[in-house]
Chains A and B, each alone.
Chain A
Amino acid sequence: MGADNADPMDEDRVEEVGAEASADSRVVYEDFSPDYLRIYYARLFPYAEIYKWLSYGHDGKHPGCDATIMSRREFSFTLEHDIYIRYLSFHDVAEMEATIKSKCPHKIDIGALYNVEPAKRSAYAGGSDRVFASVERELVFDIDMTDYDDIRTCCSGADICLKCWPLMNVAIKILDTVLREDFGFEHLLWVYSGRRGVHCWVCDTRARRLSNEARSAIARYLTLYKGNENTTKKVSLTGPSLHPALSRAYEICRGYFEEHILPNQGLLRSEEQFDKVLELVPDESAVRTQMRDRWKRASTSKDDVSAIRWKHLKQTLENKKLAPSVRRSVEEIVFSYTYPRLDIEVSKHMNHLLKAPFCIHPKTGRVCVPIDPLDCDNFDPTTVPTLGQLLYDLNNEGGKAGPEVKDLEKTSLNAAVRLFQTKFLDPLQRANKAEITCSYQQKLQQTSATNVLSW
């Protein structure tokens, strides 16, 4: 959480609700406790994997490696009672491990890579020619379920359930496709934020070196939803056809809308509900009143009423005699209810902090586990292991297993760490290696070329 954009209040507004709902059925094990956290850091937290990731191949022995990469990375800790410590940095995995174990942070954030060690930044403040500045940072995205409150009927605030979670899956699918196909990025890490949303870390070298302006531009390219509390229509499409990125997104959105969001949220079930949808149809057409009258007359309580009414509306709007802007409202409705809503501020600035994967969310006790974007439909946030669960695993499974079995392998966290390793870290490391070798050779050639000239 960057000091500039921190907005802790939004988080508290929903706290009470969150705490109630997450009261787990487990009797002996609480979801979260500082004592458990100490054990988690002592026996389970995947230090080596995180370290490997953030070193980007520079922890090896190749002469092209820049060993300072890791030590220039900012970490920040949130300790008990909301005490923040910013600008921490570690020289190696041992120091990182020791510090985390001793401070036992409730939350670990990862910041940018700076030109000098964040811990020594004060030496560069004021007067000196060199300034302390960020030089690299993963391109990150944050999608938060609270931003969908105006369309969710199942829960609100920090609560999530399987009825609204498909909204996150649409978001993952759409962003993942855009980032890979349009922008050519390959190393994407998707993570469950532990409570009510997902994060994405784009780790390609080109992405890490993007300027703040480029980050904003990508975020805007991805943004369709433009509205605040004072507008009714949040998605406005212009032009006679959709941009290829949007028509591709529309196919994804439509599937989720008709299969999940429309029936799960009962969007056209009650009068209050369907009025909200009809507001998105331009009012100069007679369609609004026509549909409203028709639906009010035939009030029905059948389960699939939303699906039937959606079909009515679509058929009515297909009429070629209607103005294009009116017909267009089918797409606008689908987009309004499913297109990803980004917290754009998080993506715009290099310096923004974002919670590290494998942290524990203090409110839910759940681990921030990676999500496989290709298999996100099968991801169930309500079964993500909690700290209590992990301890239970350690004590029960751990008792049965022999001493040769590693702690991690005794728990349900193992699968998540394996996923991180195989789907994300392995391909990333292959690319890192190739890149380091390649740029080293280029450098050698350049030096030899200058040698020839000066000879």
Chain B
Amino acid sequence: MEFRSRASHVKLNGAVKAYGVGGGGSRVSMYLVAPDVDVSLEDFEQYALDRLRVLIAIEENRSRGKRAEEVDSAVSDLWKKHMRTVHSDAQQQKDVISHFVLRLVHCRTEELRRWFMEMETALFRFRFKAESPESQKAFIEDHKLPYKSISSGEFEAMKEKLAQVMRSSNQSASLIGETNFYKVPFEEVLDLVATRRVYVHQGHAFVPRDQLVTIVSNHFRSMLSQSLILTNRNWTAMFAAQEEDRLSPILEALSKRYLAPDYSKSVSGSSVALQDLDGLAMRSFPLCMRHLYLKLQEDHHLRHGGRQQLGLFLKGIGLKLEDALAFWRGAFAPRMPAEKFDKEYAYNVRHNYGKEGKRTDYTPYSCMYIIMSNPGVGDHHGCPFRHFSAENLHAALSGMRLEPKTIDEVMEKTRGRHYQLACAATFEGSHNCQCDGINHPNQYFSQSQNYLKEQAENASQMETDS
């Protein structure tokens, strides 16, 4: 990266050395080369903010469990709204510049990188899909991606299986035609394999052309993943010190502005005491944690997934390591002697607090992570709105003593697969106040605590008044 001495301008080129040739005529970019242009600091920040709005909206849409088509149309609107410029070539420039600025913003930690990669890939996916077949084909040729159509002999041999896959995954069978399938090593299309949307035979996946977007976006993702690591290395090695007063604060601010707060450290030194947990669980835990907490007391045991989900949450609300050990030991005690606990489970608790193994301070799970988890037999973790059957969810909600009206509302949202909205409605029902949306169990907790504190202050105020 070159940063001109002129305080008001930034030259982006060089930060991310060329990793290949640039894209051809297609409007979608792989962002292989940073643009060789001067950008005013003002644009630098403004472009990045505009793109960030789009990325954040994508995340919100996805976490509400909206269907692919709904997300697509939302992204389309957002892109038009935030990224449009007066001249069309300026728009391309804005696209590229904003991408590279946000790369700088999000290259510095694993968490930021992962978030940026997810959202940019989703955006790329959407934009590639919107291109015409010709332009998609041109894109693949321009980038020399090694995907070939299957031969007519191969096609004849597996025609029926291909049709069966299309039907089984509700894809249009009209695509069945010999030039319409690409043969790729299955490792290239893992998500299509995992969801059984392709025919897999002898280590190859046979990908219908309209799924080509998956392969290309996987390629995009891995390219971006490598680039982010390089960008991070270059930035720390060469520019961080020099840009300490100018760009760093901008980047820092951008990386925080819209992201959910960091729950890896307990909220500003607040801590909870062991003896208060029971009460807190009933008043301020979101349903997922409340369920785990109750199950733990009932069974005196939780399986690994449950221990992780609850354990990290408790750490996030400020349960100290010593108290956490005491808590789990006590909970297991009726079925397990303390020595056995210390031998087999204490390690894991300390591990979560960064005192063992890799010594990473583990972050409490977000709603996104919990919703995507895959609880199995004997497991109680996961998101109740996502993973419970309707009857069990109903029972669990009744257990929170919610009004029937609220329960109906929650069930309705759950049916629409709006899991986080359902959780927010649960919050409103049990707190009698507005909720700004839930995207982290620890956020649910702190919102609840803030509300209760306010209530208590109001009450004592009234007492003094009277």
Q: Chain A residues in contact with chain B, CB under 8 A?
A: 3-10, 12-13, 82, 146-147, 149-150, 181-185, 206, 210-211, 213-214, 216-218, 220-221, 225-233, 238-247, 341, 343-345
Contacts and interface: CB of A to CB of B under 8 A. Distances in A.
Interface of B: 161, 164-165, 167-170, 186-187, 190-191, 193-196, 199-204, 301, 303-304, 332, 336, 343-345, 347-348, 351, 357, 374-380, 382, 384, 387-389, 391-393
A345 B374 CA distance: 10
A248 B301 CA distance: 39
Most buried by B among A10, A182, A344: A182
Closest 9 CB pairs of A and B: A184-B203, A217-B190, A220-B194, A184-B202, A228-B375, A217-B194, A230-B388, A239-B168, A230-B392
Contacts of A229: 377-380
B450 to A, nearest CB: 30
A341 B378 CA distance: 12
Contact of B336 (A5, A9, A226, A345): A9
Nearest to B196: A243
Contacts of A9: 301, 303, 332, 336, 344-345
Contact of B164 (A149, A220, A225, A243): A243
B196 A246 contact: yes
Contact of A344 (B332, B345, B376, B392): B376
A147 B387 contact: no
A149 B195 contact: no
Contacts of B380: 228-230
A147 B376 contact: yes
Instruction: Say whether chain A's binding surface is mostly helix, strand, loop, or mixed.
Output: loop
Contacts of B375: 228
Contact of A8 (B186, B344, B351, B382): B344
B194 A211 contact: no
Contacts of B191: 217
B187 A210 contact: yes
Nearest to A144: B377
Contacts of A82: 343-344
24 contacts: A3-B347, A4-B351, A5-B304, A6-B304, A9-B301, A9-B345, A13-B301, A82-B343, A147-B378, A150-B377, A181-B201, A184-B203, A216-B190, A217-B194, A218-B193, A221-B200, A226-B374, A228-B382, A229-B378, A231-B392, A238-B170, A243-B168, A247-B164, A341-B376
A243 B165 contact: yes
A231 B348 contact: no
Nearest to A345: B304
Contacts of A220: 194-195
Contact of A3 (B303, B332, B357, B377): B357
Given A182-B200, A226-B374, A239-B168, 9 more contacts: A184-B203, A218-B194, A221-B194, A227-B376, A229-B379, A241-B164, A241-B168, A243-B169, A244-B199
Contacts of B347: 3
A239 B392 contact: no
A231 B190 contact: no
Nearest to A234: B377
Contacts of A246: 168, 196
Contacts of B190: 213-214, 216-217
A177 to B, nearest CB: 12
Nearest to A232: B389
A214 B187 CA distance: 6
Contacts of B187: 210-211, 214
Contacts of A221: 193-194, 196, 200
A231 B374 CA distance: 13
A338 to B, nearest CB: 15
Contact of A233 (B201, B378, B387, B389): B389
A240 B168 contact: yes
A318 B303 CA distance: 41
B374 A344 contact: yes
B195 A244 contact: no
Contact of B303 (A10, A213, A214, A242): A10
A231 B196 contact: no
Contacts of A182: 200-202
Contacts of A344: 374, 376
A250 B387 CA distance: 25
Nearest to A9: B301
A241 B163 CA distance: 10
Contacts of A4: 348, 351
B254 to A, nearest CB: 29
A13 B165 CA distance: 42
A308 B295 CA distance: 40
Nearest to B376: A228
Interface centre among A8, A213, A217 (most CB of B within 10 A): A217
Given A182-B201, A184-B202, A6 B348 contact: yes
